[in-house]
């Protein structure tokens, strides 16, 4: 029996979300729900705190960056990350911390 080699990772390319057939229709709430969906199975409070922080960033206007990763066997997948925090997110977080109402935790990515 011959063992098949693993598929080679070919890299990622940027996706123009403004012209993408699905992502062009996404609003902030859609991106936030996608983050929840993509990370729903993670364990640990620090990871869940990270998801909540990512959702807060998106809902406050932080840009979602999408890339398409590809492998030599033809498999592809969309990957999502966030850009620099929006000014609205930064102000929101500063208000929470300044009020002393919350010891804000950005959490840890899974």
Q: What is the pLDDT of residue 19?
A: 96
Q: What is the DSSP letter of 39?
A: T
Q: Which residues pair with 79 in a beta bridge?
A: 67
Q: What is the pLDDT of residue 94?
A: 87
Ranges of each domain in the chain: 9-98
Q: What is the pLDDT of residue 7?
A: 87
Buried b (16+ CB within 10 A) or exposed e, 57-94: bbbbebebebeeebeeeeeeeeebebeebbeebeebbe
Pick out the chain residues at pLDDT < 70: 1-5, 101-103
Q: CA 50, CA 31: separation in Å to the nearest integer?
A: 15
Two structure tokens written together for 94: 């500063």
pTM: 0.84
């Amino acid at each position: 029996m011959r063992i098949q080699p693993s598929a080679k990772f070919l890299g990622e390319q940027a996706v123009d979300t403004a012209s993408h057939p699905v992502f062009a229709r996404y609003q902030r709430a859609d991106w936030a729900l996608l983050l929840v969906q993509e990370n729903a199975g993670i364990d640990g409070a620090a990871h869940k705190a990270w998801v909540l922080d990512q959702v807060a960033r998106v809902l406050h206007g932080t840009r979602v960056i999408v890339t398409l990763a590809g492998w030599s066997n033809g498999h592809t997948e969309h990957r999502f990350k966030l850009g620099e925090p929006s000014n609205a997110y930064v102000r929101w977080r500063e208000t929470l911390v300044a009020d002393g109402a919350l010891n804000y935790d950005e959490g840890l990515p899974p």
